[in-house]
Every structure is written in C-alpha cells, then in structure tokens.
Amino acid sequence: MAVPSKRPRWSPFAALSHAALFVWALLVIIPLLWTFLASFKDNTEIFGDAWTLPGAIRWENWARAWETAHVGRYMLNSVLVVAVSTAGTMLLGSMAAYVLARYRFPGNRLIYYLFVSGMAFPVFLALVPLFFVVDQFGLLNTHTGLVLVYIAYSLPFTVFFLAAFFRTLPASVAEAAMMDGCSHTRTFFQIMLPMARPGLVSIAVFNVLGQWNQYLLPIVLLSGDREKWVITQGIADISTIAGYEADWPGLFAALSMAIFPMLVVYIVFQRQIQSGLTTGAVK
C-alpha cells in the first residue's frame, strides 16, 4: 500500500519569509538588469522612459568604456591585486586558523580574540595612520602595499570562519596521519586542507567579493598614480567625467563590466558556498 507523501505545511512565518526573499530578490535584480540594459542605450533613451528596451544593441558603448575610459587597465589591476591578496589571505588565514583551532598553547585564546576583534574595528578609523605606515615602508601608490593591506584587512573574518570550520573536522584523521609519520606541515597541507575545501571555497569567494568592491583603501593608498588604479577608482572617475561629457551609456557599460565577473564567480561557486556555510553547522 502506497504511503501518501507528506507535503510541507506553509505556516504564516514561512510565507512571510518567502515574500521577504522575493522582494529582496527584486530589489537586487531590477537595478542590475536596468544597468545592463542602459549600457546599450543612448542618452536620450536613458533619460526618457526608464523601462523601455534599447532601440539597438550599441556595443560601441562598451568599447568606448573599455578603451577610452581605460576600464580594461583598471580591471586588469583589480584582477592582479585581488588574486594575489586572496591567495595570501587564504594561505596565512588557514594556517593561523588551523593552529588556533587544533593546538592548545599559552595565549591561544588571546591571539584568537585579537583576530576576532579586528572584525569590530571599522576600516575608515584606521585610514590616516594606515596611510602613514604604508608611506613609511615606501609602499604608497604601489600594488604591493595595497595587497598587504587587503590581506591584513581580510584576515580577521577568515581566521574566525576557518577556525570554527577546522574544529568540526575529525581529529582521528590527523592523529592517524601523525602516526604514519606525517609532519605537522604535511598533515595540514595534504590531509586537513582538502577536508576543509568547502569552507575554504566559501571564505575565498567572500574575500574576492569584498576586495573587488573595496573603494576606501585604494582611494587612500593608490590616489597618486592613475596607471595603478583599480576598478572601483576607475568607475568613480568615469562617473565624475560622465556628468561633464554626458557619456552615461559609457558609465553604465563600465558598471556592467565591473559587475559581470563577480556574478560569474558567485554563480560558479554557489553550491560550494552553500555547502561550506552549512557543513560546519551540521557536523
């Protein structure tokens, strides 16, 4: 005898939460869609009916933003800076989180809480002393200085997230590896890191998104050399110029080019992000 399937009951709270998510999705998707469509319009269409489709697909707006507004150079700089800083953040953050999560030594909790306290410190409060520190090291207006600041800025949340994740991994696996003759370093890189892959992917994507969209730090540390500007500085400059030259299609094309890579990153790693966020809670 077939057992009838149980359908989930819709409570008022579930219906309200789904409605809120739907509204939130519209608030996010509609501006993105409008920006993308506006990148193919001309000024007359942009300032006319906002919801009309472009009369033609004007790829010249994208070409003008890429070449004349130097979006290509700014995007390449951002890719370089974010790639190096994310790699450094993940390497240093995972090692620090693993040691703090799996080893007991005097000062363990103190070091952990110092890392965690970094999340409560707004970055704009440190801009002035940070400027002078980077200047004293001779790294002002260099990508190296910006990368090091990005790593320091991203480490607190990375250590906080990964330390909690490493605590969920079974200690028996590491103990078996040590009994087989693995050193601490080999156990970490060859045994524990692959097991922590969901958490590593999740926090890496969060770091990429946060560093790609960072504006305050580049505007302070790279303000003197336009050749080294990152994409957020370039977009801000295009926005200022567009007000005088009336090149709003170029501005929206530049915005679309800045948004598109992050959408691709999130779509590609969406399942890994969800897995990394739920694995630690389930185990």
Q: Which domains does the chain have, with CATH numbers?
A: 61-282 (1.10.3720.10)
Distances (CA, A) of 67 to 78, 218, 245, 251: 16, 22, 16, 13
Q: Report the pLDDT value the prediction gives residue 5, as an integer from 0 to 100.
A: 54
pLDDT at 214 (0 to 100)? 92
What is the C-alpha to C-alpha distance for residues 278 and 4, in angstroms, rounded to an integer? 30
pTM of the model: 0.85
**What pLDDT does 247 receive?**
82
Under a CB-based contact definition with an 8 Å cutoff, are residues 93 and 154 in contact?
yes
pLDDT at 12: 78
Average model confidence (pLDDT) for the chain?
86
Which residues, at least 6 apart from 153, have a Cβ–Cβ distance to it below 8 Å? 123, 214, 217
- Name 95's Cβ contacts closer than 8 Å, sequence gap at least 6: 188
Query: Which pLDDT score is estimated for 283?
Result: 46
Any idea what DSSP says for residue 125? G
The pLDDT of residue 98 is: 93
Amino acid present at 201: V
CB 166 within 8 A of CB 101: yes
| CB distance 32 to 259 below 8 Å | yes
d(CA 156, CA 89): 10
Q: Which two tokens stand for residue 97?
A: 């989180």
Query: In the chain, which stretches have pLDDT less than 50?
Result: 1, 281-283
Q: What is the pLDDT of residue 282?
A: 46
Per cent of the chain over pLDDT 90 is 45
pLDDT, tens digit, for every residue of 29-51? 999 999 999 999 998 888 888 78
Report how far residue 163's alpha carbon sits from residue 247's, in angstroms, rounded to the nearest whole number.
48
